[in-house]
Amino acid sequence: MPEIENADTVIPMVIVGACLLLMFVTWLFTRSSRDDAATALAAQAPIVGQTRVTQAQLGQWHREHGETVKEWIENHEIVLKRISDGGLSIDLSADLAAGHDSLSDAIDQAIAKHPAPQMRAQLSALVLASRNTIDSLRRSNWTNAESEHLAYLEYRDTWLDRLRQFATAESEVHQLQTMGNDSELPSWLDRKESSPG
């Protein structure tokens, strides 16, 4: 047992004892408040991927914004067809993205108002891939244009299926079924016919 009468021993033991007591008291007070805070945060914040979106909310969004998505896809397909048909002889810096520019505010609003976070992210990726395809073509970056176009096609097919799901008129369903059925590579991607660059 250490000497209690010696001040060199007593002072460090008192300091260590006081620190241990302070740590214990702090632990007691913060333990309960931390659990309460974690419970409160979990109750407030929705967990990504578990957000509940009703069929009615999706239907409402499609009535308000489905036409905008369809117009964006149609416009992008028209731009790509013009590029393919023109054999890249068209002026890439002129009005290549004029349709995209005119629909830009509406599609951005449609993205922002989508009730389902995952679908909102996919729609955002579709729009970004189509914009990047056009931008890459303007810069004559064929490799990037190809990868962006392939990403666009993947998201386009997903969104065409969603639009078909909420289409009401038979003519609208037929029009959406014919969209995107062209499996032919655009001429600017067909490496057999033309060399990039």
- Provide the pLDDT confidence category of residue 15 given band limits of 50, 70 and 90: very high
Does the pLDDT of residue 196 top 60, yes or no? no
CA distance 149 to 136: 10
CA distance 58 to 5: 79
Does the pLDDT of residue 69 top 70, yes or no? yes
139/181: higher pLDDT: 139
Do 182 and 175 meet the contact criterion of CB atoms below 8 Å apart? no
The mean predicted confidence, pLDDT, of the chain is 76
Does the pLDDT of residue 68 top 80, yes or no? yes
Tell me phi and psi for residue 148, to 5 degrees.
-65, -40
Q: Which of 12-21, 39-48, 94-103, 175-184 has the highest mean pLDDT?
A: 12-21
Q: What is the pLDDT of residue 134?
A: 85
Does the pLDDT of residue 6 top 80, yes or no? no
CA distance 131 to 127: 6
Mean pLDDT of the region 76-80: 84
Q: Which of 83-87, 158-162, 163-167, 172-176 has the highest mean pLDDT?
A: 158-162
DSSP for 39-61, written as a single string: HHHHHHSPPTT-----HHHHHHH
Q: Is the pTM above the cut of 0.85?
A: no
**Boundaries of every domain in the chain:** 1-45, 55-178
CA distance 176 to 188: 25
Do 148 and 133 meet the contact criterion of CB atoms below 8 Å apart? yes
